[in-house]
Structure 1
Amino acid sequence: MSHAANAYARTARESSSPREIEAQTLLMAARKLVEVQTNWAGADKRMHAALLFNRRLWTIFMSAAESNDNPQPVEVRQNIMNIAVFVMQRTIEMQTDPKPEKLQSLIDINSNIAAGLSGRP
């Protein structure tokens, strides 16, 4: 990454709220999945990379939801955990029986949660 790109990324991190960073990261994961779905080539490196990125993101959300330091109500944390479990299950399904239509639920989840975090309908 260039010096300018590093500076931009650092400024964006420092000036964005945690919710906005989460929303942007969810949208990035959704875009990666859309790219795979749109240009479907089966279980290729792009598919595995997009699924890995999404799984890592949701692993972070799971860890945060499980943390005793998390200020969110238990119900919200449980909902995050339930969604994360679904994401992990769908990811395993994609790895064992890859089909482009199976990506749609992951794309929708990420896009809808990002919209909620950003305050968009």
Structure 2
Amino acid sequence: MTVNAYDQTQRDMSTGRAVEARALTRCAMALNDAMASKDPDALYEAVRLNYRLWLLFYSEIEKNQVELPQPVRNNVLALASYVVNSSTRAFAGEVKVLETLININRNIAAGLMETPPGSTESASNSGPAPQVPFQSTMA
């Protein structure tokens, strides 16, 4: 029960950027764990979760629910398109694609945790940048 209360408080106090960063980090961790375990069910669920998250990002930007500078908007839409289009290969367990998806999520999450220039939000309010363990299977 204490953990649930902590999670609820954390959700209530989070900025949109922090929530997005945590979601991306959790997807990256799930993808990494599934890739390491070689469990097809875990892989399916991790890729599906990541796919849905990026579809949500795409949808929110397309519906103009998020104010972003045009270059950032275009880059996020391009990344979302890549993630969605690459998911079929990720479902098949293609290591290179999975590593790319993990790296995309990790890098975007780290960027979201940085305080934007001109923001009144202090870096201490958003907490440290998320750390996602990544183990490459490439030699």
> Structure 2 counterpart of 1:30, which letter?
A
Which one is further off, 66-75 or 105-114? Answer: 66-75
Shift of 1:94: 2.2
Q: Structure 2: state its 5+ residue gaps.
A: 115-128, 130-139
Q: Are 1:99 and 2:94 an aligned pair?
A: yes
- Identity among equivalent positions (%) equals 33
TM-score, normalised relative to structure 2: 0.76
TM-score, normalised relative to structure 1: 0.86
Shift of 1:85: 0.5
Structure ranking higher in helix proportion: 1
Shift of 1:17: 1.1
Higher relative contact order (CA 8 A, sep 6+): 1
* Paired residues, number: 115
Deviations 1:24-43 (A, max 9, x none): 110100000111122224xx
> Structure 2 counterpart of 1:88, which letter?
V
Contact 2:35 2:93 in 1 (8 A): no
Q: What corresponds to 1:77 in structure 2?
A: 73
**Aligned match of 1:5 in 3, 10, 35?**
3
Alignment of 1:3-42 (within 5 A): 3-41=1-39
Q: Structure 1: state its 5+ residue gaps.
A: none
Q: CA RMSD in A?
A: 1.5
